[in-house]
Amino acid sequence: MKDRIYAEPRAQVVGFRFDEQVASVFPDMIRRSVPGYGTIIDMIGVFAARYARPGTRLYDLGSSLGAATLAMGALLPHQDCELVAVDNSAAMIERAEALLRAAGLTQPLQQRCEDIRSTELSNASVAVLNFTLQFVPLADRDALMARIAEALVPGGILVLSEKIRFEDAAEDSLQQALHHAFKRNNGYSDLEISQKRTAIENVLIPETLATHRQRLQAAGFDSVHVWFRCFNFMSLLAVKA
């Protein structure tokens, strides 16, 4: 279905939620809103193929419709690994269940409708936060990152994809303008862009690349690599020694 959630004027724009309305149009919304999203998903599968260890778990934290879970499962070389998809949106989990079942993944799979801040994490070789951390309250981000690092086996990785902000005001303004141009080119009107921005303003809180690096290093990751960036969107590969 095509995303037309913000196509009509609203007297009041409420905070963005991952409800049934969003879940029903999510593939179209994410494709038209996040530059390089398809590439990021494909490369998550490549990372899983390289870094997954036999007998470990691979976590998709904030799994939405399970795109990253599917990408990992498709290229995973070990059949004794377990895929764990976690999301706190019942609407997303319900739709993802049908998609994941239809995909015919051969590895064991868990789906959890839980808060990623409290879900059990252990024996992991790969963890993915694909545009998820930005929705976690700022005060809880350090603790979540530390829990993920602790759950990873030596040599394990975290793929962290985020919308970012820039410390330089001119740079930040330019990158936001380019992102809006990307959305217009994908068919969103100025009204849709404006109302979506209002809805998400206090829900999605971006941080700088420097802040992400500092947090990852403090959590115990040995190396942090920027492997993708387009406008104000980026993805990091963090490796635990």
Look at residue 115 in the predicted model and tell me its pLDDT.
98
Tokens found for residue 22: 């969003």
Closest CA to 238 of 139, 135, 131, 155: 155
Closest to 226 (Cα-Cα) out of 211, 213, 215, 241: 213
Q: Is residue 197 a known part of a binding site?
A: yes
Q: What is the pLDDT of residue 208?
A: 98
Check whether 88 is labelled as a binding-site residue: yes
188 is in an annotated binding site: no
User: Residue 164 is inside which H or E element, if any?
Assistant: none
- Whether 28 has a binding-site annotation, put simply, is no
Q: What's the pLDDT at 121?
A: 98
Q: Binding residue per annotation — 161?
A: no
The amino acid at 7:
A
- What local confidence, expressed as pLDDT, does residue 21 receive? 98
Instruction: Please check whether residue 111 is in contact with residue 85, taking contact to mean a CB–CB distance below 8 angstroms.
Output: yes
* pTM across the whole model: 0.97
> Can you give the pLDDT at residue 40?
98
pLDDT value, residue 195? 98
Contact (Cβ atoms closer than 8 angstroms) between residue 204 and residue 133: no
Q: Known binder of ligand: residue 62?
A: yes
Write down the domain spans for the chain. Answer: 37-165+203-240
**Domain 37-165+203-240 annotated CATH 3.40.50.150:** yes
**For the chain, which ranges sit under pLDDT 70?**
none
Cα dihedral across residues 121, 63, 58, 84: positive or negative: positive
pLDDT at 183: 98
64 carries a ligand binding annotation? yes
Beta bridge partners of residue 161, listed in sequence order: 130, 235
* The pLDDT of residue 221: 98
